[in-house]
Amino acid sequence: MTPLEIQFELKKRGKMQKDIADRVGVSGMTVSKVIHRLTVSDRVMREIAAAIEKDHREVFADYYFRPAKRSTSKVISL
């Protein structure tokens, strides 16, 4: 889901980012940063998803279903 879609769903359900922040024990700014993909927190992502009654893997699919990062450095001989 996009940040705009998440915010729409929160508003539709009468939920505020501050409520989520208080429940998880973080700042409202942290919740906003997670929604906008500026920071990562599994705990906050799960709480946001629960607030809009969706699975966290659906809400943050770009995080949960991205390929694992691997080091692919190669040695090139001259």
Q: Is the dihedral of CA 58, 63, 64, 68 positive or negative?
A: positive
| Interval 32-50: pLDDT, tens | 999 999 999 999 999 999 9
Domains and their CATH numbers in the chain: 3-64 (1.10.260)
Query: Comparing C-alpha atoms, which of 24, 23, 45, 25 is closest to residue 33?
Result: 45
pLDDT at 70: 59
| Interval 6-42: pLDDT, tens | 999 999 999 999 999 999 999 999 999 999 999 999 9
